Amino acid sequence: MSEAPRSEYRGQIHQQQKDLMLHWYERLDESARTGNPPAVSLMISGNCIELLEGFGAVPLYPEVNALQLAIRHQSLDPILAAEELGYAADNCAYVKADIGAMIKGITPAGTPLPTPALVLCNFVGCNTYVKWFEHAAEFQGAPLAMLDVPFLRTAEPRAEDIDYVVRQLHEIVRQLEQITGRRFDMDRFREAVRCSARVEEAWSRIKNLARRTPSPFDAYFDAITLMGPLYVYRGSPEGVAFFELALKEMEEKVARGEGIYDQEKFRVVIEGPPPYPFFRSFRDMFATWKATAVASTYSTVGGLWEFGFRHDPDHPFESLALHMLAHNVTNRNYLQRYEQIRRYVEEWDADGIVIHFVKSCRLFSAGQGDMRDYFTRQLGVPTLYIESDLEDPRYFSEAQIKNRMDAFFEALEHSRSIGTLRRGAAALRHPAAGAGNAPVAGERLKILP
């Protein structure tokens, strides 16, 4: 194949994204030097950034630090340092990179990170988060609090689930008041929730623009660029300004009929986090085939808004609880994720699915063979399954992944040439089946005498 064509869109928002993230690191640096603003560690999954705004606190996201290390090819040293402490080859490499960096004093911007006033473990689906935050608090000597969000094991959250989370949110507010000596500012909190709703509206509209052919942006790789501001600034006017500008730029692209390539050849849905240490090479493997991700599950870790959920300033605590319980991919159950992907294929008009199994993240990856079985055998959607890691460069075999990707797109191209490639709703053998909690049952294998 020839060299991969340029694939990223570069508009005003890219400079703004950089400025916003730099400003975040400046606030963290200020917090490290003066203790003001106070920093609170949070996990990205279903994060409750709005609550922090009520204290004027700055979030410290260990995942963002870890992925920055990987993307700059600096993750292996801290991973090895963590393994010397006793972490196993099979532990999540995000955690290892973060803890290793902490021990070695490596920080993303080179300036020291603050010791958090509170390590707030928003347990939203990922069990590894709990371990991560326990360890982070231990190694940083910081106080630790749990925010236990019941896993979504029913179609909708139950009243008891919402009540449990809301009551814990109030408990955290009291705890943060004691730790920081600041009073929780209800008006500022409500305003943050209002900002979030506006950001979510703009973000959702951007994501829905990817239903167009050609899609004006890549809903996996470009979405990741927008995720930093989404999680750090969602509850602030800067976030609103940024996302409204992003929406305007994307709408202008749509008006001009611009995709990310001169011609969009394939439309795929990507499931799973990216291999950050090989982000560029991975993107190029799609670009080579002029394939655009029109939707992705990874971009819904922090929140799933394209199906309509918004934070509600009239019910701020309840809407935080609902967001954490039901409107992010990590706290939704595995079959609800199948359904999310199925909808993407159908409504975003995709040709196929790429499942990226990452060794570190069992939340995403455990059972993806069953997911592939569902999409290929039951729904008849072309699905590629590849394996590597999101943080540890030792688990990425570039030649092997490239071979598999090329074979997948060659097969799609062949199907198209003989007229059998179906897109969107037509690609699904049972387009209407599986709505709700349980997809159609798989076939049963019986071999017992």
Partner 1 sequence: MPAATENLIEQCRAIVEDLHLGEVRRWKEQNPGAAAIGYFPVYTPVELIHASGLLPVGLNGAGDRLDLQYADARFGSFICSIVKTTLEMGLTGYLDPLDGMLFSGICDSARNLAFVFERNFPQKYIDFLHLPQNPSSGASASFLKAEYLRLAAQLEKLGGRKLDDDALRASIAVYNENRALLRDLYALRAANPHQVHTSDLYLLQRAGNFLPVETHNTWLSRALADIADRQAKPRDSVRIVIEGSFCEQPPLDLIRLVEEAGCYVLDDDFILGRRWFTEDVPIDGDPLGALAESYLDRSVYSSVRHDFRHRRHKLLVEKVRRLGADAVLFLIAKFCEPAYFDYVLFKRELEAASIPHLLLEFEEKAFTFDRLRTEVETFVESLLFD
Residues found near partner 1 in the complex (CB under 8 A): 85-88, 90-92, 95, 123, 125-128, 130-131, 134-135, 138, 144-148, 150-151, 153, 158, 160-161, 163-164, 167-168, 171, 333-335, 338, 357, 359, 361-363, 365-370, 373-374, 387, 438-439, 441-442, 444-448
Residue 447 beta carbon to partner 1: minimum distance, rounded to whole angstroms: 5
Cis before 216 (ω within 30): no
Residue 162 beta carbon to partner 1: minimum distance, rounded to whole angstroms: 10
Q: CA 45 to CA 116: how far, in whole Å?
A: 18
Residue 389, CB half-sphere, CA atoms under 13 Å: how many?
A: 24
Q: How far is CA 283 from CA 48, 144, 292, 395, in A?
A: 30, 38, 10, 17
| Helical residues (DSSP H) of 6-92, grouped into ranges | 12-34, 49-53, 62-71, 76-85
Nearer to partner 1 (CB atom), residue 72 or residue 153: 153
Residue 435 beta carbon to partner 1: minimum distance, rounded to whole angstroms: 14
Burial 354-376 (b: 16+ CB within 10 A, else e): bbbbbbbbebbbeebeebbebbb
- Residue 65 has a CB neighbour count (10 Å cut-off) of 22
Residue 330 beta carbon to partner 1: minimum distance, rounded to whole angstroms: 9
Residue 230 beta carbon to partner 1: minimum distance, rounded to whole angstroms: 23
Nearer to partner 1 (CB atom), residue 98 or residue 349: 98
Residue 91 beta carbon to partner 1: minimum distance, rounded to whole angstroms: 5
Residue 160 beta carbon to partner 1: minimum distance, rounded to whole angstroms: 4
Residue 37 beta carbon to partner 1: minimum distance, rounded to whole angstroms: 25
Instruction: Answer yes or no: are the C-beta atoms of 300 and 47 closer than 8 Å.
Output: no
Nearer to partner 1 (CB atom), residue 255 or residue 447: 447
Nearer to partner 1 (CB atom), residue 157 or residue 214: 157
Nearer to partner 1 (CB atom), residue 109 or residue 130: 130
Nearer to partner 1 (CB atom), residue 24 or residue 129: 129
Q: How far is CA 162 from CA 12, 186, 309, in A?
A: 40, 20, 15
Nearer to partner 1 (CB atom), residue 58 or residue 384: 384
Q: How far is CA 331 from CA 93, 116, 155, 202, 219, in A?
A: 21, 25, 12, 23, 21
Query: Burial, 74: exposed, middle or buried (Cβ in 10 Å; 0-12, 13-18, 19+)?
Result: middle
Nearer to partner 1 (CB atom), residue 4 or residue 103: 103
- Name the region of 314 (left: φ>0; alpha: ψ -120 to 50; beta: rest): alpha
